[in-house]
Structure 1
Amino acid sequence: MRVFVLDKDKQPLDPCHPARARDLLKKGRAKVFKRYPFTIIMQDRSLQDSVVHPHRLKIDPGSKTTGIAIIQEPTGRITSALEINHRGQQIKNSLESRRALRRGRRNRKTRYRKPRFLNRKRPESWLPPSLMSRVFNIETWVRRLRKLCPITAISQELVRFDTQKMQNPEVSGIEYQHGELFGFEVKEYLLAKWGHNCVYCGAIDTPLEVEHIIPKSKGGSNRVSNLTLACRCCNQKKGNNPIEKFLIKKPEILKKVLAKAKTPLKDAAAVNATRWELWRRLKSTGLPVETASGGLTKFNRKTRGLDKTHWTDAACVGKSTPKRLLLNAVKPLTITAKGHGVRQRCRPNKYGFPKAHAPAAKFFMGFQTGDIVKADIKKGKYAGKYTGRIAIRHRPSFVLSAKPFAKRGLRRKRGLRPPLREHTSEQKIDVHPKYLQTIFKADGYEYQAN
């Protein structure tokens, strides 16, 4: 992945190759400005003395993971790629747990209050916190990336599926029904709904065909609620037989298929509920915002021969996608939303009764929970060097979650290469703050370079 570059006035320049960044740092012409995403700041160059090319920020919003790609428009080079893991489900579970505790407490009359009238009003565009967290994460990173890269336009996948095309294919005649993207819209929806395997035999990594649950010769329709995915072998075996007859020896699969046929997609509903709020916030940036559907994204990815990942989907969003994308050696930065801590001062047990009180101070000895640190432990059971996130305690003993380096092999002869090092599994250790050095302050996210 390319390295972000700022001029001496902190204005974004074109990202550069990592080898170029190392050379600038070695010569002293640049300094490290930020570690995640890695950014350098020039000491002897300004924006007026540089040639800057326009870049387009492309976003593929998802319920659990959102893909982001930055493309240099004149060349079609993907300069940066990110994958943001949301914490919407975690927020929903926490709110449901809190609601259950409060309900139980009121029913026990341990903290009685009179019922409230349902007269509290919400804004017109109100969304629950679990959904708004997804919007906030994307908005935050759009704002951060604009400060690091000369972005002049944004592309957003506004809808995952064109439901009008799927529900009523004859809405605008035969041309609309059999348009170039119609099959991609339907197939993309079915893959997300039924998974990437045959619903009858469970075969994976095989070409799947769209199959009618109730055959058209038996009165079935082309609606998506009557469509599923099957491999060619199962599709031919079933033919125009009723599904009850075809799966007579597999009652569990039959029950599953019939129950799921008309079940809505939870993840698709989450994306659809937040799409317009995200679009409004992107428009408020003042940049031109291009919108497209998921069917067009898949069409672009297939025609360019790319593997399916979140960031490659983002790179293929919209009609502005170049015919040739340059993505050699691009490795996405995985970003996981962790939040900024809890405001709850009184910590309850599983029954809702207080068990502890959290200190009001957020920092201790200059450290904060979520800081990424280097640890150099000289002696003891955990002697060695570590890099990872810390969770502070209000005493000189922090919890460090890190992957230590383990030596493999020894140098026995002069002139051999240094011993290779391999990562072991992540572990949590207690460490004294005197061994720690902060390399990245907590900002609510966890980072992992692939």
Structure 2
Amino acid sequence: MSVFVLDTNKKPQNPVHPAKARLLLTEGKASVFRQFPFTIILKETVLDVASNPLRIKIDPGSRETGIAVINDDTGEIVFAMELRHRGRQIKNNLESRRAIRRSRRNRKTRYRKPRFDNRTRAKGWLPPSLKSRVHNIETWVNRLCRFCNIQAISMELVRFDMQKIQNPEISGVEYQQGELMGYEVREYLLEKWDRTCAYCGKTDIPLEIEHIVPKSKGGSNRVSNLTLACTACNRKKGNKPLELFLSRKPRMLKRIQKQSKVPLKDAGAVNTTRWDLFRTLKETGLPVETGSGGLTKFNRTTRGLYKTHWLDAAYVGKSTPEKMFQIDKTVLIVKADGHGSRQMCRVNKFGFPRTTAKSTEKKVKGFQTGDIVKAVVTSGKKVGTYIGRVAVRKSGSFNIKTVDKTVQGISWKYCRLLHASDGYSYNTTC
């Protein structure tokens, strides 16, 4: 990743190579403004040089979203990250809270007048588990706009173009007869069957589209009649009916028949939030380009690249440069953790309180739980340097969770703040 640069007025400049950033920091011409994404701020005013226009590309997903910042003129991937959502955690928390609430009301109120008829939902309402995905992406788009000169946005609006799958003629001769149509179907099946052979369960091997009911036996090309199989299983099955081929494996037969009719839950989440995300991005005032998942895969595979969320994001839309490169292979992994809980006390499995009410004051000695700190302990049994997330205590004795362990009983006096808690945890990968 390149390093973002701000001038003395906190206006974005052209991102620089990590080596150039280290040189500026060593010479005292800049200081660290933010750890994640790593950003420096200049200490001296520089000549007013126009920064290069950049484009944010987004590949929305149900569990993870890929985000990349691209220079359309040079084809450079300036910044890449993968954002991991917490939609399922929110759903589980809401269900748990609902169960506790109902149990409490049943214990304390013999009859409660129904009030659900009085409640209305605003137009465009989304469940919190889905809305959180939109909010996470919106947060990071706004952040990146503050750190670099973003002039356009590209997003994958639909993962699977269902109309093109059912009716290839909908977009004209060039689209229906080209390779893109096949990519829409293949990408849908890869997601539906979890990128594994339906018959032997092998992964990370070339997979072929296979008809559950053979075409010679009257089977159609509808996606409900398609699955994925490795070359060996596909040849072994041939034109046999599925019931005959799996006559000795009734469990597998039942699973395949059931899975062929089950809709994609994750794809449903993406399709539900796509237009809300599109409207949110339009409110930034930047031009928004859209593309389908089939087009993204076509752009990536024709260039011979492997599949990752951030690479999918880099190749979203028709604006993708013919040649792209990345000076540094580091990718930022961001996980949404939330900003804590409003629950006043913890409960046991029966819904009864098991702790006292928590304090409304989050900070202790200037630190709060979730901050990334660096502790240099110079005396005692825990001498050493520890970098990680801190869990604060009123006593001033903190716990620090590092990459491989949790160190308890570190005094706040040894701690130095590196990155304030912002609802996300960070990691990097190469």
TM-score bin, normalised by smaller chain = over 0.9
Contact 2:331 2:428 in 1 (8 A): yes
TM-superposition CA deviations, 1:311-336 (whole Å, max 9, x none): 11100000000010112432111111
User: In the TM superposition, what whole-angstrom CA distance separates every residue of 1:251-284 from its partner, at most 9, and x where no partner exists?
Assistant: 2211110010010111111111111011001001
Paired residue secondary structure (1:16) = coil
**Once the 2 structures are TM-superposed, how far is the Cα of residue 136 of structure 1 from its aligned partner?**
0.5
Counterpart Cα distance in 2 of 1:158 and 1:112: 47
Q: Which residue of 1 aligns with 2:197?
A: 198
Computed over aligned residues only, the root mean square deviation of the Cα atoms, in angstroms, reads 1.7
State the Cα distance separating 1:114 from its structure 2 match. Answer: 2.5
Structural mapping, 1:242-321, within 5 Å? 242-321=241-320
Selected match of 2:414 from 435, 443, 449? 435
| 2:133 aligned with 1:154 | no
Residue equivalent to 1:132: 131
Residue of structure 2 in register with 1:367 after alignment: 367
Q: Structure 1 CA distance, aligned partners of 2:295 and 2:222?
A: 20
Cα distance in 2 for residues equivalent to 1:329 and 1:42: 22
- Displacement after TM superposition at 1:39 (Å): 0.7
For the pair 1:186 / 2:185, whether they are aligned, the reply is: yes
Report deviation, 1:111.
Answer: 7.7
Unaligned runs of 5+ in 2: none
Report what 2:81 is aligned to. 82
Q: In the TM superposition, what whole-angstrom CA distance separates every residue of 1:117-160 from its partner, at most 9, and x where no partner exists?
A: 42211111000111111100100000000000011100000000
Question: 1:29 corresponds to which residue?
Answer: 29
Inter-CA distance 182–38: structure 2 relative to 1 (3 Å threshold): same
* 2:253 counterpart letter in structure 1: L
Q: Quote the residue 1:142 is aligned against.
A: 141
Give 1:330-369 correspondences, 5 Å limit. 330-355=329-354, 356-369=356-369
Name 1:8's counterpart in structure 2. Answer: 8
| Distance change >3 Å, CA 214–CA 170, structure 1 → 2 | farther
Give unmatched runs, 5+ long, in structure 1: 404-424
Contact 1:78 1:330 in 2 (8 A): no
Instruction: Output the amino acid matched with 1:214.
Output: V
Q: CA deviation at 1:398?
A: 1.9
Question: Structure 1 stretch 212-221 or stretch 60-69: which is displaced more?
Answer: 212-221
Q: 1:283 to 1:131 in 2, by over 3 A?
A: same
Over 3 Å counting, the alpha-carbon distance change for 1:309 and 1:377 in structure 2 is same
TM-score normalised by L of structure 2: 0.96
Quick one: distance in 1 between partners of 2:381 and 2:27?
40
Separation in 2 of the partners of 1:115 and 1:380? 61
- The 1:23–1:215 alpha-carbon spacing in structure 2 relative to 1, beyond 3 Å, is same
Alignment of 1:370-385 (within 5 A): 370-385=370-385
**SS in structure 1 of the partner of residue 117 of structure 2:** coil
2-structure distance, mates of 1:172, 1:327: 34
Matched residues in 1 for 2:175 and 2:417: separation? 58
Q: Contact 1:347–1:358 (CA<8 Å) still a contact in 2?
A: no
Show CA shifts across 1:37-79 (max 9, x none): 1111122234x62142111100011111111001111100001
- Residues of 2 paired with 1:108 and 1:198: CA distance? 51
Shift of the 149–211 alpha-carbon distance from structure 1 to 2, 3 Å rule, reads same
Q: Are the counterparts in 2 of residues 58 and 68 from structure 1 also a CA contact under 8 Å?
A: yes
The amino acid across from 1:440 in the alignment is H
How many pairs align?
428
Cα contact 1:193–1:265 (8 A) shared by 2:
yes
- The Cα of 1:396 is off from its aligned counterpart by 1.9
- 55-64 or 177-186: bigger deviation: 177-186
